[in-house]
Structure 1
């Protein structure tokens, strides 16, 4: 077929810029022409073996996802970081990888930026932006298994729960189904306990090691009249004691500063003893932080417990 014929084909003029080489051959392009156009300096790019980008610029993440599905074949499911981006999560590991789940009997291998995972436990996909995508708990666990930064894994798990994408128990259930997930269980423990950030996870671990009285995390508290007071990061209900992990970044802004002052005023009016701790001190000065908590708890024991109730 002459160039004038295939160049006007809808696959070229109106289709996706990511296309399988065999589709180009099917509309009459010679294999040598495809190869020549994909050479360095050519007008196209070969993204993966047999997968062509009909332009010579850098591929976008979306181009890479499309290429990954052409490479992996039918019934593939996007998972990991690229899947979580489609749900709108922001605290994600930095990776160029496109992680794809395929049936266990599929004969296809990793290539370039594509990681292929054969699975006998394929989830029921949800279509996100036109792509079959793993549910959030599966995508989070799959991303966590491929990540090396523990803090980022904690942040990702916390965000998925904090923003209502999944329940902590759903992440735990997914880990139970994953043979390679045992090393992630300690990372999930503070999330199951109520922590909703890396700093709160650090606080959770520090409190657990300290031998201090029981503490609950991110529970709403109200006065005797049912008026909302706050949702402290940590709450020792026995002594009506609140622990706030207050970062400079959030609380130094005008709105954040005003909100913090108003919250502290409500604590004082209700007779609640509160300690505020910078997140950095949880790692740099853990012993001093625990000593401050003990002293504040001792003070709380000396006064009658105010009538504060959990929501």
Structure 2
């Protein structure tokens, strides 16, 4: 499973004929081997790689354990992850194993069927996301992981919701944080926008839907869309939308909105938190402007 020095259990070394006193001597400070965890040895004296740490953790937790949390999400290709370096493992509830060193052990009666990712038994994405979100340093990190998992089609939002509801001791903040994701938000900024719109008193907003003109030509995929009055709300970051191809694409998008008769409001993500009252006032003004003119012939698909 790993390149470089082998990770192996002490009992297995003894079965291969290596005396225990030899193992301890070679694992002493300055020795040629390294004791990574109780009963687990690296046959080398360097720093273990992430893969060697995972392999050591699984050896420590024994058969039936599986990887979850941030380390599991890396194996699925998620990128927007908090800096949590320990190896988070799920083990059967009856197993008397505790956390140690770089391994965080979680005993559970809800042990899912694992997926094999690069040779490692790994919790399914919804379980790994919620396990990681429970230990995230802040709520934004939790929302970012949930949003990325849904946006990039690693799982359905309903699967995350089920995972949350089946955890009787889940942090209530995660239930609250999940609401924008269920509503269609695809990022932390969109989640902030979802919450702000929900408090605005304006009609329903749809998120990340595709809008077409009367001839069936694609107009845009706005962050938020109020179909009642054909109002688009774009959460446009300065860094992403102001340079190079992104800037040209934003200008082209806005030109299509204008040609189709769509009213569009652009908001910087930072203002959703720093100036929420001002943004709500702008939303209401944009809605009134859109309501006063005849609704253009644009539709969702």
Q: TM-score range by the shorter chain?
A: over 0.9
Alignment of 1:45-124 (within 5 A): 45-124=34-113
Within the candidate set 188, 201, 206, 1:216 is matched to 206
Q: For residue 25 of structure 2, what is the aligned residue in structure 1?
A: 36
TM-score between both structures, scaled by the size of structure 2: 0.96
Query: Residue deviations 1:201-226, cap 9 Å, x none?
Result: 00001111111221111111111121
Figure out how many residues of one structure are paired with residues of the other and give that number.
298
Q: Structure 1: any 5+ residue segments left out of the alignment?
A: 1-13
The question of 1:151 aligning with 2:140 is answered yes
The question of 1:19 aligning with 2:19 is answered no
Query: Residue deviations 1:259-308, cap 9 Å, x none?
Result: 10110000000000001011001111111111111111111112100011
Q: For residue 230 of structure 2, what is the aligned residue in structure 1?
A: 240
Q: What stretches of structure 1 move > 6 A for 4+ residues in a row?
A: none
Within the candidate set 275, 278, 281, 1:288 is matched to 278
Q: For residue 256 of structure 1, what is the aligned residue in structure 2?
A: 246
Q: Which secondary structure state, in structure 1, belongs to the residue aligned with residue 228 of structure 2?
A: helix
Query: Residue deviations 1:184-236, cap 9 Å, x none?
Result: 11011000000000000000011111112211111111111211111100101
Query: Residue deviations 1:94-149, cap 9 Å, x none?
Result: 11111111112112111111111111111111100001111100100111112231
The question of 1:229 aligning with 2:229 is answered no
Give me the whole-angstrom Cα distance separating, in 2, the residues matched to 1:97 and 1:15: 21
The answer (yes or no) to whether the contact 2:5–2:44 under 8 Å persists in 1 is no
Q: Structure 2: any 5+ residue segments left out of the alignment?
A: none
Give me the whole-angstrom Cα distance separating, in 1, the residues matched to 2:241 and 2:26: 55
Q: Which secondary structure state, in structure 1, belongs to the residue aligned with residue 84 of structure 2?
A: coil
Q: Which secondary structure state, in structure 2, belongs to the residue aligned with residue 238 of structure 1?
A: coil
Q: For residue 4 of structure 1, what is the aligned residue in structure 2?
A: none
The answer (yes or no) to whether the contact 1:218–1:234 under 8 Å persists in 2 is yes
Q: Which moved more, 1:262-271 or 1:20-29?
A: 20-29
Greater share of helix: 1
Q: Which secondary structure state, in structure 2, belongs to the residue aligned with residue 239 of structure 1?
A: coil
TM-score between both structures, scaled by the size of structure 1: 0.93
